[in-house]
């Protein structure tokens, strides 16, 4: 948990507190004069590394309850801001708290307006913090923070009056359920007795709540008094219950234990500051220009976190790379050792074998050459399969002859004699076969001549021509196949003269023949 600087401002002084590791530690207090301001400025030297929160506990804080139409979005925010600025136009330190809604009618919103009507009590302290570039995260009201105290302690009632002696005096806050409705601060003189003041101020608040119809006659007002343990007995003797008034006394030590707050010398303001240090809500009053240093601090924190994440990722990647390198090195060492063992076994086995006429390198080359020939040597079977599939779709065509051959390159390539499969052995030796014909280094083109005839009627020339053309197109549709019609069954060229009779007896005995060259490049 990051440390925080907490400041508690009253009408006559400012007290500093430190929040570190969940423990609130009191610091020095500074008077509201020139000497106190100078001392506070010296205290803030080097305090720009942690967030600061300022809590105001002043007499000059006003509260007003208002009903507003239930409007959402930017229109609702503009409505609240207009009413708030109209109610407190002389101070920038104002706040609107939208609490609940009416249960009947238009169901308007219940809004509590509050403002520090004398901003001069706070602004000098804020100016010093701005001068020292302290990241001021929020400006809060002790009265509004007491609502958080009521919710955390679980002491909410339909009508609750919370009384606590704080740094500014005796704070009385009235709640309906968990919502704050009104609060006032009574400044105690040095000779005033807090016990008598608690009883007297309770009677005044009860009369005020009844006159403003916040508390109806016959309703019970529950009064919770936060006080030091040594003062509880005196309060119980001085404050008596009646049918419309019920007192509850909570000592500050037990309240700290209930809230699990650690403090050296617990007090009511330290309860509020402890809750603020543990879980700070959004700023209630605007901090003004001093808030820009908090935004800078937050951006710096985000950059530091991103840098730390990048550094951690890089470190993990580096560790992974080092581990992979070590593992790969171990695997390479194992493979080298295994390879040395296999070489030793190979040499041992070869030493036991009788000598051979051919060298092992030549045998290895022969095996590789045999594999290459098996993979790329030309063979008529694949091309014949293409012809068979096309003939299945041309039942009128009958084959007469097939002439398959391998196309040789137009010119002999340099070194062809060295690549020949059967080298010459002097005069009278067989002519060597070029390596390109045998499929080295790649499969050569194959040429197939197809001689056939068409079994159609003697006078159906269109069907005869279409049948041969369709067979040629089917063959050409295969990948790497080129088809050329050498002899057509019917010569339809314009330069040739048509002769003979279509219904002669000789025409029925002689079927139209054709010849096609198919070139296939695997």
pLDDT > 80? residue 356? no
DSSP H helical ranges for 117-223 = 123-131, 142-153, 194-211
Decide which of 489 and 441 is more confident: 489
Decide which of 365 and 294 is more confident: 294
Q: What is the pLDDT of residue 421?
A: 42
Q: What is the pLDDT of residue 58?
A: 92
Highest mean pLDDT among 291-305, 420-434, 484-498: 291-305
Q: What is the pLDDT of residue 265?
A: 63
| 212-263 residue pLDDT tens | 888 888 899 999 999 988 889 999 999 988 888 999 999 988 888 888 887 6
Take residue 422 and report the two structure tokens written for it. Answer: 């059967």
3-state secondary structure of 370: helix
pLDDT > 90? residue 427? no
Characterize 367-385 residue by residue with b for buried, 16 or more Cβ atoms within 10 angstroms of its Cβ, and e for exposed.
Answer: eeeeeeeeeebbeeeebee
Q: What is the pLDDT of residue 425?
A: 44
pLDDT > 90? residue 101? no
pLDDT > 90? residue 344? yes
Please give the mean pLDDT across all residues of the chain.
85
Q: What is the pLDDT of residue 409?
A: 62
Decide which of 512 and 265 is more confident: 512
Q: What is the pLDDT of residue 303?
A: 93
* CA distances from residue 131 to 14, 126, 300 in whole angstroms, order as listed: 17, 9, 19
| 38-83 residue pLDDT tens | 999 999 987 888 899 999 999 999 999 998 998 888 998 899 999 9
Closest of 432, 436, 390 to residue 413, by C-alpha: 436
Per-residue pLDDT band for 511 (boundaries 50, 70, 90) equals confident
pLDDT > 80? residue 457? no
Closest of 462, 514, 478, 518 to residue 393, by C-alpha: 478
Take residue 520 and report the two structure tokens written for it. Answer: 């296939």
Question: Three-state SS across 86-117?
Answer: HHCCCCCCEEEEEEEECCCCCCCEEEEEEEEC
H or E stretch at 331: helix 292-352
What global pTM score does this model have? 0.62
Cβ atoms of residues 170 and 198 within 8 Å:
yes
3-state secondary structure of 489: coil
pLDDT > 50? residue 411? no
Per-residue pLDDT band for 410 (boundaries 50, 70, 90) equals low
H or E stretch at 23: strand 23-31
Q: What is the pLDDT of residue 458?
A: 61
| 158-213 residue pLDDT tens | 999 999 988 778 999 999 999 999 999 998 887 888 889 999 999 999 999 999 88
Cα separation, 119 vs 90, whole angstroms: 9
Q: What is the pLDDT of residue 429?
A: 52
In this predicted structure, which of 55-69, 96-110, 322-336 has the lowest mean pLDDT?
96-110
Q: What is the pLDDT of residue 363?
A: 78
Cβ atoms of residues 493 and 518 within 8 Å:
no
> Helices then strands (H, E): number in the chain?
13, 18
Provide the 10 A C-beta neighbour count for residue 347. Answer: 9
Cβ atoms of residues 48 and 42 within 8 Å:
no
Per-residue pLDDT band for 416 (boundaries 50, 70, 90) equals very low
Cβ atoms of residues 22 and 262 within 8 Å:
yes
Q: What is the pLDDT of residue 517?
A: 92
pLDDT > 90? residue 462? no
Interval 317-334 mean pLDDT: 94
Q: What is the pLDDT of residue 420?
A: 41
Domain parsing of the chain, residue ranges: 4-60+118-286, 289-349, 381-408+436-520
Take residue 336 and report the two structure tokens written for it. Answer: 């080298």
Per-residue pLDDT band for 509 (boundaries 50, 70, 90) equals low
**Beta strand pairing status for 157-166 and 169-177?**
antiparallel
Cβ atoms of residues 164 and 270 within 8 Å:
no
Q: What is the pLDDT of residue 224?
A: 94
pLDDT > 80? residue 98? yes
| 128-137 residue pLDDT tens | 999 999 999 9
Cβ atoms of residues 377 and 438 within 8 Å:
yes
Among 2.60.40, 1.10.150, 3.30.70, 1.20.1070, name the CATH number for the domain at 381-408+436-520.
Answer: 3.30.70
pLDDT > 90? residue 377? no
| 17-27 residue pLDDT tens | 999 888 888 99
**Beta strand pairing status for 179-186 and 109-116?**
unpaired
């Amino acid at each position: 948990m990051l440390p925080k600087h907490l400041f508690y401002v009253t009408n006559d002084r400012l007290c500093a507190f430190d929040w570190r590791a969940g423990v609130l530690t009191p610091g020095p207090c500074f008077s509201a004069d020139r000497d106190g301001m100078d001392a506070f400025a010296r205290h803030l030297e080097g305090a720009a590394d942690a967030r600061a929160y300022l809590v105001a506990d002043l007499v000059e804080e006003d509260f007003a309850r208002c009903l507003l139409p239930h409007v959402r979005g930017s229109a609702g925010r503009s409505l609240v801001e207009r009413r708030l600025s109209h109610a407190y136009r002389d101070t920038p330190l104002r706040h609107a708290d939208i609490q609940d809604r009416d249960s009947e009618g238009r169901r308007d919103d219940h809004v509590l307006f509050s403002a520090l009507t004398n901003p001069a009590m706070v602004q000098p302290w804020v100016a010093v913090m701005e001068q020292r570039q302290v990241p001021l995260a929020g400006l809060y009201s002790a009265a509004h923070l007491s609502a958080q105290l009521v919710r955390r302690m679980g002491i909410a009632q339909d009508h609750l009056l919370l009384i606590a002696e704080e740094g500014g005096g005796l704070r009385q806050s009235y709640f309906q359920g968990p919502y704050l409705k009104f609060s006032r601060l009574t400044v105690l003189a040095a000779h005033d007795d807090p016990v008598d003041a608690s009883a007297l101020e309770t009677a005044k608040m009860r009369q005020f709540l009844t006159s403003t119809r916040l508390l109806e006659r016959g309703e019970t007002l529950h009064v919770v008094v936060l006080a030091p343990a040594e003062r509880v007995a005196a309060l119980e003797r001085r404050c008596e219950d009646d049918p419309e008034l019920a007192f509850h006394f909570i000592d500050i030590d037990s309240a700290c234990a209930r809230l699990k707050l650690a403090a050296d010398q617990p007090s009511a303001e330290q309860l509020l500051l402890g809750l603020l240090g543990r879980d700070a809500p959004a700023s209630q009053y605007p901090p003004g220009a001093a808030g820009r240093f908090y935004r800078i601090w937050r951006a710096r924190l985000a950059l530091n976190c991103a840098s730390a994440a990048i550094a951690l990722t890089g470190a993990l990647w580096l560790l992974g790379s080092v581990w992979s390198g070590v593992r790969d090195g171990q695997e390479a060492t194992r493979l080298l050792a295994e390879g040395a063992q296999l070489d030793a076994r190979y040499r041992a086995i070869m030493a036991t074998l009788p000598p051979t006429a051919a060298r092992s390198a030549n045998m290895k080359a022969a095996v590789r050459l045999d594999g290459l020939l098996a993979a790329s040597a030309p063979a008529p079977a694949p091309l014949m399969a293409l012809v068979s599939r096309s003939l299945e779709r041309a039942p009128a065509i009958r084959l007469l002859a097939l002439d398959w051959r391998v196309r040789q390159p137009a010119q002999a390539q340099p070194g062809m004699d060295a690549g020949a499969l059967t080298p010459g052995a002097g005069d009278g030796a067989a002519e060597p076969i070029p390596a390109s014909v045998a499929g080295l280094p790649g499969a050569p083109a194959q040429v197939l001549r197809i001689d056939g005839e068409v079994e159609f009627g003697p006078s159906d020339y269109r069907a005869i021509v279409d049948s041969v053309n369709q067979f040629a197109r089917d063959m050409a549709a295969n990948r790497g196949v080129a088809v050329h019609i050498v002899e057509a069954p019917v010569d339809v060229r314009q330069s040739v003269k048509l002769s003979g009779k279509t219904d002669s007896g000789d025409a029925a005995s002689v079927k139209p023949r054709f010849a096609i060259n198919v070139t296939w490049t695997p």
